[in-house]
């Protein structure tokens, strides 16, 4: 697997070292891979993307694109294309003008600049691919949010970049549009096959789009892996509680946290194989799009702790607030974290 983008031991500090935005990040994307940087606000994910783009210089460490070190090179020679959160369209240019703009500086393989007709046909190809051919004469202010986002993508696509860098491109869309745009983004990337680094704070986007997810917090990568792995096998308590809605339940017990996902806390008859039964004191129940979220506290696993159980529609056991029910968790679903470091640790016996 060739490596498209790689960062090695990257550090970035602002204000003469007082603020550390990035603290030693190592990452590498495969060719054509869709890598998502996921984390809360201020975790350094956008800074990392801007360093890859060349808009910021790292304080220490190396950035490699296509195998060569690009530290110190300006953005324009890095063969990258970036889509900004605000789309950053040029408001005084038409859609066509926006898409053509990057081509004006480009050199073809034979070293010549593309002429006007070549630029235009390339821009039309790009607009066609994103379904905005009918909008070419409009100005950005005449477009809807979804259309602007496509123009920004078309402008990024038109240069045949080695890497797409996307900085929360869906966050300015309304919730309904976001779901369809997410699907389109994924299909679009699969068609063009370009390596993509995608920054988001939205775990649904990350899970849905990424080949791999890098979960970031406080300038470091907490876990790097495919969505299922990050979800089912979190490396530490941060990842466990940042991903998942509602997040993973953590029950303290003798210097460790016992973790399990809300959907794995079920009435015993729905849990097969080795399992641990726990008394679940239900306080209240929420109905959310077919699922029932039961809030309450469990004992026996460790200290008495407030937890959430997510019961799919297929679980029909009658429940009511104020009652204590016998629930169970499959043993293989339990994760153990060291209470002081937060990292994963060896399983401990939690039997009754």
Partner 1 sequence: MSSRATAPQGSPLRQLADREGFLAWAMLLPAVVYIVLVVAVPFGLAVAFAFSDVTAGDPSYDWVGLRNFARIFEDPVFWKALGNTFVFTAVSMALIIVLGKVLANILVADFHGKWVVRFLVLLPWTTPVALSTVAWLWLYDSVYSPIDWVLRNLGLIENHLYFLGRPELATASVIAVHVWRLVPLAAVIMMVGLLGIPTDVQDAAKVDGVGFWRRMFEVTIPLTMPLIAVAALFGAIFTFTDMAVVYILTRGGPTNSTQVLSSWAFIVGIEGGDIGQGAAIALFLFPLLLAAAVLILRAVRKIEVF
Query: Which CB, 169 or 296, lies closer to partner 1?
Result: 169
- Nearest distance, CB of residue 17 and partner 1, angstroms: 17
Among 21, 51, 53, 163, binds partner 1 (CB under 8 A): 53
- Nearest distance, CB of residue 215 and partner 1, angstroms: 25
- Nearest distance, CB of residue 124 and partner 1, angstroms: 18
Among 15, 18, 105, 349, binds partner 1 (CB under 8 A): 105
Among 85, 172, 220, 277, binds partner 1 (CB under 8 A): 85
Select from 243, 250, 208 the least CA-distant residue to 223: 243
SS3 for 18-65, per residue? Answer: CEEEEEEEEEEEECCCEEEEECCCCCCHHHHHHHHHCCCCCCEEEEEE
Query: Which CB, 78 or 178, lies closer to partner 1?
Result: 78
Q: Which alpha helices (H) appear in 193-253, and where do they start and end?
A: 203-209, 227-232, 237-242
Is 172 a binding residue for partner 1 by CB under 8 A? The answer is no
> How is residue 97 written in tokens?
């003008």
Among 39, 58, 102, 259, binds partner 1 (CB under 8 A): 102
Please tell me the count of residues contacting partner 1 according to CB under 8 A: 30
**Helix crossing, 116-129 with 175-192: angle to 10°?**
120
Cβ-based neighbours of 335, under 8 Å, separated by 6 or more? 233, 234, 240, 248, 258, 259, 260, 344
Query: Which CB, 45 or 344, lies closer to partner 1?
Result: 45
Is 14 a binding residue for partner 1 by CB under 8 A? The answer is no
Is 154 a binding residue for partner 1 by CB under 8 A? The answer is no
Coil vs helix vs strand at 143: coil
Tell me which residues in 55-84 interact with partner 1 (CB under 8 A): 55, 74-77, 80-82, 84
DSSP 267-305: -GGG--SSEEEEEEEEEEEEEETTEEEEEEEE-SSSS-E
Q: Which residues bind partner 1 (CB under 8 A)?
A: 50, 53-55, 74-77, 80-82, 84-93, 101-102, 104-106, 139, 141, 155, 159
């Amino acid at each position: 697997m060739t490596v498209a983008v790689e960062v090695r031991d990257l550090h970035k500090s602002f204000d003469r070292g007082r603020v550390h935005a990035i603290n030693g990040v190592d990452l590498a994307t495969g060719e054509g891979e869709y890598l998502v940087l996921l984390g809360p606000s201020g975790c350094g994910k956008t800074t990392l993307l801007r360093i890859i783009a060349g808009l910021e210089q790292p304080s220490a460490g190396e950035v490699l694109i296509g195998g060569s070190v690009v530290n110190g090179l300006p953005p324009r020679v890095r063969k990258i294309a970036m889509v900004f959160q605000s789309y950053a369209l040029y408001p005084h240019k038409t859609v066509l003008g926006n898409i053509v703009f990057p081509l004006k500086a480009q050199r073809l393989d034979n070293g010549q600049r593309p002429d006007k007709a070549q630029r235009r046909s390339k821009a039309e190809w790009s607009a066609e691919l994103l379904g905005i051919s009918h909008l070419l004469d409009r100005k950005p202010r005449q477009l809807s949010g979804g259309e602007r986002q496509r123009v920004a993508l078309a402008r990024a696509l038109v240069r045949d970049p080695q890497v797409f860098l996307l900085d929360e491109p869906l966050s300015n869309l309304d919730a309904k549009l976001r779901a369809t745009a997410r699907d389109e983004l994924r299909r679009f990337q699969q068609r063009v096959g370009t390596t993509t680094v995608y920054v988001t704070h939205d775990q649904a986007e990350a899970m849905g789009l990424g080949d791999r997810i890098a979960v970031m917090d406080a300038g470091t990568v907490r876990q790097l892996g495919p969505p299922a792995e990050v979800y089912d096998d979190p490396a530490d308590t941060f990842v466990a509680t940042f991903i998942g809605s509602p997040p993973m339940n953590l029950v303290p017990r003798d210097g460790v946290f016992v973790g399990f996902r809300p959907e794995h806390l079920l009435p015993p008859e729905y849990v097969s194989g080795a399992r641990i039964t726990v008394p679940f004191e239900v306080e209240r129940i929420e109905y959310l799009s077919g699922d029932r979220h039961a809030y309450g506290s469990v004992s026996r696993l460790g200290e008495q702790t407030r937890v959430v159980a997510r019961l799919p529609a297929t679980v029909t056991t009658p429940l009511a607030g104020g009652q204590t029910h016998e629930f169970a968790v499959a043993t293989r679903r339990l994760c153990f974290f060291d209470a002081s470091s937060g990292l994963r640790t060896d399983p401990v016996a939690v039997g009754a």
